[in-house]
């Protein structure tokens, strides 16, 4: 019997690993699809059987309730759909404020950890250890019910020059109403911002070519404030002051920052700031000390070492951590409901859900919003991450 060399014949269709894996994946996909299909169709059938309305028609019905704070015009005659937008904008507002302020606090506290001054260093440690370890809800209550609620009543407001007022109802400061010629001022601001970008590129090119440095920061600041100021003077201040005044029970006019927003933004800032401080500390510590020594040996000043050597390398560690801190902050902002700040969760999952009873639709929409917002943050932070990533040449 002669051993025939095994000819590499193609295995049967089902034994082919490629086909097999495709079949298994198709089966899984089909199974998953059927699972979700049966959940959704069962839900709809059961809701119908129980006489519960479903669908998104309610978004076009009149809401009939008022909302404390809105960035767009809103009153009780608007629709439930608009309450969604109002809540969404309020969520975005408190998130943006929280992200900006907590980043500032976090970077300052993170860098302060390396200060040569013992007091500053201990202060930074105490800050992180205190606020990182206390539940956020408790901190929100602290700011709202202990700190802000202790402010004086409207009639005994604290005031700064009779134009800015602070009381238990909030912070009131003058607004500006644009008059004819205001557009020139806006144009000046835009021109200043564009000018700064141009200046920066020019200064970098000049430094690359000649090695000479240009004081970009000071000139930029000068442009940012100088140009609009010039426009203001030329146009004869085309704005009217809208100064808050006490009438009846409350202040009217001007711009009001409600205490709910202040308490929530403060709590989110202080809480998330502590985590960001730790991220910054970790990032700086990840840069080997040799880098600093090398920078010193070529004669860079301390400030330049931080800016040119340490921070760019630390950012590689910090940015991914920041990403998750920012996402947590957005999700944590739903705790607004505890103090009645009208964010998406309070307004839409709270009042709108209860007035309409459309629980599934509303919860689904809200989950989708937080998903999209956090994916956006993630996208932006990933862009930032790739720009600070180690460039290998």
Residues that bind other proteins (CB under 8 A): 39-40, 42-43, 45-47, 49-53, 64-68, 75-77, 145, 149, 153, 168-169, 247-250, 252, 259-260, 337-340, 342, 346, 349-351, 353-357, 359-360, 363
Closest CB to other proteins among 67 and 330? 67
User: Counting Cβ atoms within 10 Å, is residue 359 exposed (0-12), middle (13-18) or buried (19+)?
Assistant: middle
Find the shortest distance in angstroms from Cβ 116 to other proteins: 44
Closest CB to other proteins among 93 and 224? 93
User: Counting Cβ atoms within 10 Å, is residue 40 exposed (0-12), middle (13-18) or buried (19+)?
Assistant: exposed
Q: Which two tokens stand for residue 308?
A: 């040119």
Degrees, nearest 5: CA angle 126-168-98: 45
DSSP 8-state code for residue 79: B
Find the shortest distance in angstroms from Cβ 360 to other proteins: 6
Find the shortest distance in angstroms from Cβ 166 to other proteins: 13
Contact present, 59 and 87 (Cβ < 8 Å): no
The dihedrals phi and psi of 308, each to the nearest 5 degrees, come to -95, -30
Closest CB to other proteins among 134 and 360? 360
> Helix (H, G, I), strand (E, B), or coil: what is residue 54?
coil
Which is it for strands 245-247 and 239-242: parallel, antiparallel or unpaired? unpaired
CA atoms within 13 A on the CB side of 26: 6
Closest CB to other proteins among 68 and 194? 68
Angle, to 10 degrees, between the axis of helix 80-112 and the axis of helix 359-388?
30
Closest CB to other proteins among 28 and 45? 45
Say how far apart CA 344 and CA 337 lie, in whole Å. Answer: 9
Find the shortest distance in angstroms from Cβ 339 to other proteins: 8
Find the shortest distance in angstroms from Cβ 53 to other proteins: 5
Find the shortest distance in angstroms from Cβ 202 to other proteins: 51
Closest CB to other proteins among 199 and 258? 258
């Amino acid at each position: 019997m002669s051993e025939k060399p095994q000819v590499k014949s193609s295995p049967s269709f089902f034994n082919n690993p490629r086909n097999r894996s495709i079949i298994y994946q198709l089966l899984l996909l089909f199974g998953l699809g059927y699972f979700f299909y049966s959940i959704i169709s069962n839900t709809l059938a059961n809701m119908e059987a129980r006489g519960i309305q479903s669908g998104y028609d309610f978004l076009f019905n009149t809401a009939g309730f008022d909302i404390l704070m809105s960035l767009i015009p809103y009153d009780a005659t608007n629709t439930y759909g608009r309450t969604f937008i109002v809540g969404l904008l309020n969520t975005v507002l408190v998130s943006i404020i929280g992200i900006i302020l907590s980043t500032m606090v976090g970077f300052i506290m993170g860098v302060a950890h390396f200060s040569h001054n013992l007091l500053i260093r201990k202060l930074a440690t105490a800050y992180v250890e205190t606020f990182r370890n206390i539940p956020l809800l408790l901190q929100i209550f602290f700011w709202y019910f202990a700190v802000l609620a202790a402010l004086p009543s409207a009639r005994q407001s604290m005031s700064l020059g009779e134009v800015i007022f602070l009381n238990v109802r909030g912070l009131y400061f003058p607004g500006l109403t644009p008059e004819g010629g205001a557009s020139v001022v806006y144009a000046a601001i835009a021109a200043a911002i564009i000018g700064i970008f141009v200046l920066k590129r020019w200064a970098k090119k000049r430094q690359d070519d000649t090695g000479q440095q240009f004081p970009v920061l000071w000139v930029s600041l000068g442009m940012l404030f100088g140009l609009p100021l010039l426009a203001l003077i030329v146009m004869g201040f085309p704005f009217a002051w809208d100064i808050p005044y006490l009438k009846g029970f409350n202040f009217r006019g001007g711009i009001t920052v409600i205490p709910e927003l202040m308490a929530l933004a403060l709590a989110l800032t202080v809480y998330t700031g502590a985590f960001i401080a730790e991220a910054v500390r970790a990032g700086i510590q990840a840069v080997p000390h040799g880098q600093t020594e090398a920078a010193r040996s070529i004669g860079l000043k301390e400030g330049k070492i931080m800016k040119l050597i340490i921070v760019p390398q630390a950012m590689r560690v910090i940015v991914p951590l920041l990403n998750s801190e920012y996402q947590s902050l957005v999700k944590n902002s739903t705790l607004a409901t505890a103090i009645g700040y009208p964010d998406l969760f309070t307004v839409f999952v709270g009042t709108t859900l209860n007035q309409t009873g459309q629980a599934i639709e509303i919860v689904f929409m809200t989950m989708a919003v937080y998903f999209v917002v956090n994916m956006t943050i993630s996208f932006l932070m990933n862009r930032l991450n790739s720009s600070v990533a180690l460039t290998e040449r």
